[in-house]
Amino acid sequence: MSEEKQQPRRPIECGVPDPMQYMHPVLKANYGNWAWHDRMRPGVLHHVSKTGDEVWTVRAGTQRQMDVYTIRKLCDIADTFAEGHVRFTTRSNIEFMVSSQDKVEPLIGKLTEEGFPVGGTGNSVSMISHTQGWLHCDIPGTDASGVVKSLMDMMHQEFIKEEMPNRVRITTSCCQINCGGQGDIAINVQYTKPPVINHDLVANVCERPAVVARCPVAAIRPAMVNGKATLEVDEKKCICCGACYPPCPPMQINSRESTKIAIWVGGKHSNARSKPTFHKLVMANLPNNPPRWPEVEEVVKKILYAYKENARDWERVGEWIERIGWPKFFDLVDMPFTHHHLDDYRGARTSLNASAHIHF
């Protein structure tokens, strides 16, 4: 292995691989030519092309963070029970395509047997958008894999059934940056206090003007502490956003006491019916409680089942709440409405109810 040092290999800049080489033949043959689809049961999609070709897709959940053994097992199943072609969805579910309906049940049987829940289609709770957390990230407030595993265990039945009013797309984010994105329900780290500065380190580690520039509310200013050039935070101004932390790790925003979990609802990406929306704060200050975050589980469960029991067909979480109103929502889930829910950031004005549209 020493010849490499002498002659480093130049990369082949091949870019994004062509999917056609790996695609299921029926998909390839009908590329851009599909006519309609239906779902015969949870976890299964049935697509019919304009030429009459049919394909059945079986969707199963994975842990996303997979060891090679798990991946190989999925390959074995694909080879034996399906047709050797799979794809992954935007939510880390795996999909097996088969060209005849009789392969569907055995495939489901095998997947279930091997512990891969079949579901995530239609009006189910699909896999949670997953981020890195303690396993890999350099700025995490919690662990994504653990939160996701705990919640998916709790919601397993809702993954394998399609009993929700509409799809439920949940996200997690292990810091306020929100790599997990917006969700019908979102479980995000929330910093509850301004950063605590390790003045000894700032001087060495941080490019101070860059950090000052990063703060959206100009709460950081240069300062001298014990004769060292460091930074200080105006706690009255600070909105606990954590933007200063990645460029300057000595501005510790995380601590056992201050890193909490907040729950958000009503994010929506699709344009179906209503325009896409951002999620909205419901619950803050939940403990960051590994390994199973029971307080978070409890809150998510309440929201999920309030939605399941009260929403109408096709209503996404946010649309349901729009209809019944926020007062009723907070009552149904039995959660507090506080001044923290009132926006006070830029443009807050537009979130005020400037109408006599009132829910009683």
Partner 1 sequence: MASKKHETKLLDELEDGPWPSFVKGLKRLRDSEDKQYAPMMNDLLGQLEHSYETTRGYWKGGTVSVFGYGGGIIPRFSEVAKDYPESKEFHTLRVMPPAGMHYDTDVLRKLCDIWERHGSGLIAFHGQSGDIMFQGATTENVQHAFDELNEIGFDLGGAGPALRTSMSCVGHARCEMSNFDEARALRSVINEFLDEMHRPALPYKFKFKFSGCPNDCVNAIHRADFAVIGTWRDDMKVDQTEVKAYIDEVGRKYMIDNVIARCPTNALSLNDDDTLDVDNSSCVRCMHCLNVMTKALSPGDDKGVSILIGGKRALKIGDLMGTVIVPFMKLESDEDFEKFTEFAERIIEFFAENALEHERIGETIDRIGLTHFLEGVGVDIDPNMIRHPRTNPFVRTDDFDEAAEQWKERKKHRAEGEDNIREDFVAAE
Q: Which of 106, 26, 94 is nearest to 66 (CA)?
A: 94
Does residue 223 belong to the site contacting ligand SF4 (CB under 6 A)?
no
Q: 239 exposed, middle or buried (CB, 10 Å; 0-12, 13-18, 19+)?
A: middle
- Select from 61, 117, 146, 194 the one that contacts ligand SF4 (CB under 6 A): 194
d(CA 291, CA 49): 46
| Angle of the 317-324 helix axis to the 294-310 helix axis, nearest 10 | 70
Q: 321 exposed, middle or buried (CB, 10 Å; 0-12, 13-18, 19+)?
A: buried
CB 263 within 8 A of CB 186: yes
d(CA 244, CA 213): 9
User: Mask: binding to ligand SRM, 300-329, rule CB under 6 A, as x and -?
Assistant: ----------------x-------------
CB of 336 to ligand SRM, least distance (A): 26
Question: Which residues, 217 to 236, sit near partner 1 by CB under 8 A?
Answer: none
> Beta strand 185-191 with 170-173: parallel, antiparallel or unpaired?
parallel
- Select from 11, 17, 227, 347 the one that contacts a copy of itself (CB under 8 A): 347
Does residue 324 belong to the site contacting partner 1 (CB under 8 A)?
yes
Does residue 64 belong to the site contacting partner 1 (CB under 8 A)?
yes
CA dihedral sign, ordered 321, 324, 325, 329: negative
Provide CB contacts within 8 A for 269, sequence distance 6+: 169, 181, 182, 276
Binding residues for a copy of itself, rule CB under 8 A, total 11
d(CA 300, CA 357): 28
Does residue 104 belong to the site contacting ligand SF4 (CB under 6 A)?
no
| Amino acid at position 218, single letter | A
Which of a copy of itself, partner 1, ligand SRM, none interacts with 208 (beta carbon under 5 to 8 A by kind)?
Answer: none
- Select from 14, 275, 313, 334 the one that contacts a copy of itself (CB under 8 A): 275
Which residue in the block uniquely carries the two structure tokens 């689809």?
A: 37
Does residue 271 belong to the site contacting a copy of itself (CB under 8 A)?
yes
Binding part of the chain for partner 1, among 20-28, 99-107, 196-204, 298-306 by CB under 8 A, reads 20-28
- Select from 121, 123, 124, 182 the one that contacts partner 1 (CB under 8 A): 182
Which of ligand SF4, partner 1, a copy of itself, none interacts with 42 (beta carbon under 5 to 8 A by kind)?
Answer: none
Does residue 273 belong to the site contacting partner 1 (CB under 8 A)?
yes
d(CA 77, CA 70): 11
Question: Which residues, 130 to 159, sit near partner 1 by CB under 8 A?
Answer: 130-131, 133-143, 145-146, 149-150, 152-153, 156
Residues that bind ligand SRM (CB under 6 A): 37, 39, 45, 89-91, 93, 120-122, 126-127, 130-132, 136-139, 166-167, 169, 177, 179, 181, 246, 268-270, 272, 316
